Chains A and B, each alone.
Chain A
Amino acid sequence: MNTAMNDPAEVLVDCQSVWKIFGSRAQAAVKAISERGLSKKQVLQDFDCVVGVSDASLQVHRGEIFCIMGLSGSGKSTLIRLLNRLIEPSLGKITVKGKEIARLNAAELRAMRSRNIGMVFQSVALLPNRTVLENAGFGLEVRGVAKDERNRTAHAALEKVGLGDWTARYPRELSGGMQQRVGLARALAADPEIILMDEPFSALDPLIRRQLQDEFRQLTKSLGKSAVFITHDLEEAIRIGDRIAIMKDGVIVQVGTAEEIVTKPADDYVSDFVAGISRIHLVKAHSVMRPVAEFKAAEPHCDVNVLLRTSPEADIAALIDLTMQSDRDAISVVENGAVIGVVTIRGLLRGVAGTPTAA
């Protein structure tokens, strides 16, 4: 654990108004966008160019898991490849660890990819002619680390993902979930600060996927790594991400915590997505409580001080448990010793159903 040296406010990856335009006339389109502020549709009409990523801005802090959620064609895979310059941005600025990556020369870029930014792929991309151990040590091998040290580090990384006994096997002898663990171990062995995860668990069956999601989150947090995690599955984004960006047609529609996205969707597109998500672990007391004054006005004979108490961060599941234990139908929400609101059964039902709170 090296959380002590992690400054959560430090921005590791900073994207500012990044565009990626594909097509033979991309240059002209970029010029038109920066001069005249053309929209995506106009770019397609006037220049026959496809906008992959449009005006995307985001910051990833140290130690944070940042999820980018979007359907296929939303530009999320393009966006993640802009972060390590596998794709060159058409416009905008991307800074990683304070260095503008567009300005790096080939050798500097290779050094940054090798030391600072790891990547895990949906297709896993294991080299079939190498053993699990040799695959896990690949990043170190191209960096020029001596064989003994490389094997030791790779073995340690494989131990972390629970594959310590499989080092001498070949990738084709492993199941899909195990292969993806090797992919993760390969990224971890190089010890980068930032790990880019490009839909790593999408091809796995649901049970294994859940298991890997939990392990990934736990591992990333315990190692103090930052991660950018691409997914098309909002539930996965909510399970894993500290913050989530929702992308649609190359545009980042909303960035926020899981709770913010579920309780305050920015537009109809996001609310459609959010509709099927279970809220009982996401919605917290502070967003379903009624202010004390309002509660007192409605229920003058009820004393808020005798109700069971909880914190504003208690989720709906916890509130339901408390309500079941209580002989009353309301719970007080207490912060710094003072009652700041009351959660009623109505409020809980509203929170579960997702209708806007009265408060």
Chain B
Amino acid sequence: MNPDLLQFSPGAYLAPAVDWLNKNFHPFFDAVTKLIEAVLGAIETTLLYPPPYATIVIAVLLTAFLVSVRVSVVTAIALAFCLLAGFWTASMQTLALVTVAVIISVAIAFPLGVLASRYRKFEAAIRPVLDIMQTVPPWVYLIPAVMIFSLGRVPAIIATIVYGIPPMLRLTTLAFNQVPKDLLELGHATGASPRSILFKIEIPSATPTLLVGLNQCILLSLAMVVLAGLVGAGGLGAEVTRGLTRMEMGLGLRAGLSIVAVAILLDRVSRGVLQRQQAPGAAKPA
């Protein structure tokens, strides 16, 4: 018997499916592409419009007021490093990509995560999907994304969103399952509407865990956005890819360290917000 007959080749089924999607949904994908490009362009322009030192000063002031002085120092160092390494534009492009990807990931993952915490069956149904999404090597996502959206920033964003959804979704479900039962009972006994219970009890109680999810989502998205340099996403990922293909050690290393700087920046800022949330008494004078 020929073992080749038993070989499983999902590509043979996927390729026609992608072709069919391309043929029939082209206007839709086109619209998605345009929308994402527009939002990305707007964020990039905002970040790159002022001179770099102005952007750094604004970012430092914002973090000092909204998060903490310590985080603002980290922000200053990280952004200054990106500027001095000569990757200011690339860094801002990467930040814009991460921002857009995270916003969309959260917009999809948050409601699904809430649903999963409300309905056990829904959670059981999506759990294997999430497992697959998290265990498939991330650059595999790039293939279908490129097949549908061709090269550029949009497939990178799409792949990043897919990669960023599972941690946010799982932690949203966990956060909502962890809301103390007595607080929910309080809501019901007080005659609060489901909407009030969601906004006044559940979300405030779930916030610390939700912020952990957001932190995870941001860092994984950054990793994916860098990887997406392979498909022409631009930004720091493109610089790393260039260093790799031209065997330019210095370029690759500088780009790599800039990625670390951006990662530390994103991590500390999101974590700083989290820590502020956990100490409400300290935030306002009692």
Contact of A121 with B201 in the complex, beta carbons under 8 Å: no
Pick out which of these stretches binds chain A: B98-106, B178-186, B262-270: B178-186
**How many cross-chain pairs have Cβ atoms below 8 Å apart between A and B?**
69
Contact of A113 with B191 in the complex, beta carbons under 8 Å: yes
Contact of B201 with A127 in the complex, beta carbons under 8 Å: yes
Per-residue B-contact encoding for A158-172, CB less than 8 Å = 1, 0 else: 000000000011101
| Given contact pairs A111-B191, A119-B189, A168-B286, A173 touches B183 in the complex (Cβ within 8 A) | no
A71 located at the interface, meaning its Cβ lies under 8 Å from any Cβ of chain B in the complex: no
8 Å CB interface, B90-132 against A: none
Contact of A139 with B190 in the complex, beta carbons under 8 Å: yes
Contact of B182 with A125 in the complex, beta carbons under 8 Å: yes
B193 located at the interface, meaning its Cβ lies under 8 Å from any Cβ of chain A in the complex: yes
A2 located at the interface, meaning its Cβ lies under 8 Å from any Cβ of chain B in the complex: no
Q: How many residues in B have their beta carbons less than 8 Å from beta carbons of A?
A: 21
Which residue in chain A gives the minimum CB-CB distance to B189? A119
A138 located at the interface, meaning its Cβ lies under 8 Å from any Cβ of chain B in the complex: yes
8 Å CB interface, B164-182 against A: 180, 182
Contact of A142 with B200 in the complex, beta carbons under 8 Å: yes
Partner of B186, one of A109, A125, A169: A125
Contact of B190 with A86 in the complex, beta carbons under 8 Å: no
Which residue in chain A gives the minimum CB-CB distance to B280? A129
Contact of B192 with A110 in the complex, beta carbons under 8 Å: yes
Least distance between A41 CB and chain B CB atoms (Å): 30
Contact of B182 with A123 in the complex, beta carbons under 8 Å: yes
Contact of A114 with B190 in the complex, beta carbons under 8 Å: yes
Partner of B286, one of A121, A125, A170: A170
| Given contact pairs A142-B200, A173-B286, A114 touches B281 in the complex (Cβ within 8 A) | no
Contact of B189 with A113 in the complex, beta carbons under 8 Å: yes
Residues from chain A with Cβ under 8 Å of B191 in the complex: 109-115, 139, 142-143
Which residue in chain B gives the minimum CB-CB distance to A122? B182
Contact of B190 with A142 in the complex, beta carbons under 8 Å: yes
Residues from chain B with Cβ under 8 Å of A114 in the complex: 190-192
Which residue in chain A gives the minimum CB-CB distance to B183? A125
Contact of B182 with A190 in the complex, beta carbons under 8 Å: no
Residues from chain B with Cβ under 8 Å of A172 in the complex: 281
Contact of A113 with B190 in the complex, beta carbons under 8 Å: yes
Which residue in chain A gives the minimum CB-CB distance to B197? A142
| Given contact pairs A110-B193, A114-B190, A142-B196, A170 touches B280 in the complex (Cβ within 8 A) | yes
CA distance A172 to B286 in the complex (A): 12
| Given contact pairs A125-B182, A129-B280, A170-B286, A141 touches B200 in the complex (Cβ within 8 A) | yes
CA distance A108 to B246 in the complex (A): 72
Contact of B204 with A127 in the complex, beta carbons under 8 Å: yes
Residues from chain A with Cβ under 8 Å of B188 in the complex: 86, 113
Least distance between A13 CB and chain B CB atoms (Å): 15
CA distance A190 to B191 in the complex (A): 11
Per-residue A-contact encoding for B64-76, CB less than 8 Å = 1, 0 else: 0000000000000
8 Å CB interface, A90-141 against B: 109-115, 117, 119, 121, 123, 125, 127-129, 138-139, 141
Residues from chain A with Cβ under 8 Å of B192 in the complex: 110, 114, 142
Least distance between A98 CB and chain B CB atoms (Å): 18
8 Å CB interface, B133-190 against A: 180, 182-183, 185-190
CA distance A121 to B205 in the complex (A): 18
Least distance between B180 CB and chain A CB atoms (Å): 8
| Given contact pairs A86-B185, A125-B183, A127-B183, A190 touches B280 in the complex (Cβ within 8 A) | no
A151 located at the interface, meaning its Cβ lies under 8 Å from any Cβ of chain B in the complex: no
A84 located at the interface, meaning its Cβ lies under 8 Å from any Cβ of chain B in the complex: yes
Residues from chain B with Cβ under 8 Å of A110 in the complex: 191-193
Partner of A142, one of B183, B193, B205: B193
Residues from chain B with Cβ under 8 Å of A129 in the complex: 204-205, 207, 280
CA distance A113 to B188 in the complex (A): 8
Residues from chain A with Cβ under 8 Å of B190 in the complex: 113-114, 119, 138-139, 142, 190
- Residues on B close to A: CB < 8 A? 180, 182-183, 185-193, 196, 200-201, 204-205, 207, 280-281, 286
Q: Could you list 17 examples of A-B contacts with CB < 8 Å?
A: A84-B189, A109-B191, A113-B188, A113-B191, A114-B191, A117-B189, A121-B185, A123-B180, A125-B180, A125-B183, A127-B201, A127-B205, A128-B280, A138-B186, A139-B190, A142-B200, A170-B280
Q: Give 5 A-B pairs besides A138-B200, A173-B286 with Cβ atoms closer than 8 angstroms.
A: A86-B185, A119-B190, A123-B182, A129-B204, A170-B286
